[in-house]
Structure 1
Amino acid sequence: MRINRALRLGIGAIALTLATATATACGGGSDNSALDNAKGGKLTIGIKFDQPGVGLRDKDGTYSGFDVEIARYVAEKLGVQPDGITFKEAPSGQRETLIENGQVDYIVASYTINDARKQKVDFAGPYYVAGQSLLVRSDNTDINGPDDLKGKKVCSVKGSTPAQNIEKSYPDTQLQTNDTYSLCLEGLRAGSWDALTTDDTILAGYAAQSNGALKVVGKKFTEEPYGIGLKKGDQELRDKVNDAIEAMIADGSWQKAFDKTLGVSGYQAPEAPKVDRY
């Protein structure tokens, strides 16, 4: 009887261990909170890898962009130095999942705050208010804003909010849609169309990489408040990140970050936003 009981206890313990291991593997995340990880000197931060001037993984394996500067500043305020940061790619369609599963501690990835997303994650910020704008060739003098688009050929991405906005609000425009902005960019350079439209941050990044061949024109004609995505319900983390954003704006680091990234294109920084403690 003793042997059978011991055997049963042993089998139960093994089963519990295996179940725990399986659950951890399937979740792909950490049991620690972001602040616990920060106390240990480590953070995993989600960014974009393919947006010049915003969030870009460079050919040498380093990272650059305005979002990257924001992410690093916030990490430092949480007590984590640059060598303690692991950047993880955060594609638009995966951002909520990455946060919910604990695969990242927070996300800084041109992440617009909206009500649908706030059902799944929390936000700190905004740290920037982006908006739809226009990118044209530098020698173009005909287009200075959306009201100049009548009869013009304009490119955006299929199914994107910018494309839908052009179609709805500026029906006299000859809208061309492609699968990626890089294809729009190639067509703009080649003269296939007159302008490319999406968020001003992304356009400023393209302009910065163009060696003066492209420029952003006109004022933003929509509003997209960018926030830092956090695990839902972690109020302490959200307060600390909001404090960091406010400090970055107040001490001039926000302006410096813009000037060394998006500002390289000649695009002027908008007024820094007021943090809204949602």
Structure 2
Amino acid sequence: MNQRVTGLAALVAAASVLVVACGGPDEPAPTTSSRPAESATLKRMTDRGKIIIGLRADTPGLAHRNPASGEYSGFEVALGQLIATGLGLSAKQVTFTQLTADTALPSVAAGTVDIFLGGATADRAKQAGLLTAGPYLTAGLGLLYRKSGPSVTDAATAAGRKVCTVSNSPEQTLARDAKLTDPEKLVTSTSVGDCVDELGSGGVDAVADFLPVVTGYAAADPANLAATALAAPKPVDYVIALPGGDTGLKERLTRIIRTAVTDGTWQRDYDQNLGAVGPKPAPPSIPS
């Protein structure tokens, strides 16, 4: 009898250990797939005590640096602060760095910045050996024109006109593919700000860029500038460019954007920064 009792007690004890190891019916054990992988970039941020985010910073409403104060504002700035808090830092532990279309992705690859927000596309990031998260915005091409000049609102009215776009950028490729104007009339500059200066001086008749960009400039100077959306080509996803191989950071960033879209934070921040003028894009579709 003692042997039977001892054997039964051992069996019960073993079953109890098994239940604890499995987490019990009300507390399932975490699986590897539910936890983001380790992130070398996140560790670097944590050790440093800040995240360094690259921006174009010449696009009012999206990301703009005040030349007098040096402060940054816009939708992508708000998004950068949201990302910082989502990664366990604070909104004050963000350093923004102004980059160009030429320097943005190489800066991420070199580790000069931790991530880049500024209209990067997945194809270009992949070509640079980088990973992407998001998308955080889906936008089609738009045109910015002077209210006192020719109304350049579509490919038909842009034909034969001088149209400026940023060199070596996705929007330059889209403008060329859309055949907005004669090839020799599609001029380029190093920044959209320079294109807008050319538009103001009459050097060009329109600026071609993503709709939120031209909308932001129109909102900043509504007395003189207007923006319009182009029906083609199809919209492009803005993604977060991050170091290649860092799948842990990719997963974390995508979850942060997905949550912002789901809980309404994305729409609130977009409306506050870009909702005053022009058509609004729908929130991006985040892959699960």
Distance in structure 2 (CA, Å) of the matches to 1:274 and 1:187: 35
Residue among 176, 179, 188 paired with 2:189: 179
Shift of residue 64 of structure 1? 1.0
Structure exhibiting the larger radius of gyration computed from Cα positions: 2
2:250 to 238, 263, 276: 238
State the one-letter code of the partner of 1:199: F
Please report how far the alpha carbon of residue 168 of structure 1 lies from its aligned counterpart in structure 2 after TM superposition. 5.3
- CA offset digits 1:92-133 (Å, max 9, x no partner): 223333223333222212212216635611000111122321
Identity of paired residues, percent?
A: 27
Among 140, 155, 166, the residue aligned to 1:146: 155
Q: Which residue of 1 aligns with 2:4?
A: none
Aligned residue for 1:80, secondary structure, equals coil
Change (3 A) 1:189 1:125: same
2: CA distance between counterparts of 1:195 and 1:126?
A: 28
Separation in 2, partners of 1:38, 1:141: 49
Contact between 2:109 and 2:243, CA under 8 Å: does it hold in 1?
Answer: yes
- Matches of 1:224 and 1:68 in 2, distance apart? 20
**Alignment-derived partner of residue 213 in structure 2:** 202
Q: Secondary structure at the match of 1:104?
A: coil
Is 1:170 the counterpart of 2:182 in the alignment?
A: no
Equivalent residue number for residue 226 of structure 2: 215
Letter of the 1:270 counterpart: P
Deviation at 1:63, TM superposition (A): 0.8
With 149-158 and 165-174 compared, the bigger mean Cα shift is at 165-174
Are the equivalent residues in 1 in contact too, given 2:142–2:229 (CA < 8 A)?
A: yes
CA pair 187-129 structure 1, distance change in 2 beyond 3 A: same
Deviation per CA, 1:127-179, whole angstroms, max 9, x where unpaired? 11223211122367854322332344433345655455555543765825153
**TM-score calculated relative to the size of structure 2:** 0.73
The answer (yes or no) to whether the contact 1:163–1:177 under 8 Å persists in 2 is no
Distance 1:104 1:46 in 2: 6
The superposition leaves residues 19-54 of structure 1 with CA deviations (integer Å, 9 ceiling, x where unpaired) of: xxxxxxxxxxxxx82322455552222222322222
In the other structure, the counterpart of 1:255 is: 267
Alignment-derived partner of residue 108 in structure 2: 99
Q: Partner of 1:120: helix, strand, or coil?
A: coil
Residues 102 and 168, structure 2, Cα contact 8 Å, conserved in 1? no
Gaps of 5+ in 1: 1-31
Q: Distance in 1 between matches of 2:172 and 2:56?
A: 21
Contact 2:178–2:232, Cα closer than 8 Å, also in 1 = no
Structure 1 residue 190 displacement after superposition:
4.1
The aligned amino acid for 1:48 is R
Over the residues paired in the alignment, what is the CA RMSD in angstroms? 2.9
Instruction: Determine whether 1:48 maps to 2:56.
Output: yes
Q: Do the aligned partners of residues 123 and 171 (structure 1) sit closer, same or farther apart at CA in structure 2, a change above 3 Å counting? A: closer
User: 1:201 and 1:36, CA in 2 relative to 1: closer, same or farther beyond 3 A?
Assistant: same
Q: For 1:28-43, what aligned pairs fall within 5 Å after superposition?
A: 33-37=40-44, 39=46, 41-43=49-51
- Output the CA distance in 1 between the equivalents of 2:41 and 2:168: 34
* 4+ aligned runs moved over 6 Å, structure 1: none
Q: Against the structure 1 CA distance between its residues 184 and 172, is the aligned structure 2 distance closer, same or farther, given a 3 Å change threshold?
A: closer
Q: Secondary structure at the match of 1:239?
A: helix
Q: Contact 1:77 / 1:244 at 8 angstroms: preserved in 2?
A: yes
Q: Name the count of aligned residue pairs.
A: 245
Distance of aligned partners of 1:36 and 1:153 in 2 relative to their CA distance in 1, 3 Å threshold: closer
Separation (CA, whole Å) in 2 of partners of 1:220 and 1:262: 20
TM-score by length of 1: 0.75
Unaligned runs of 5+ in 2: 1-38
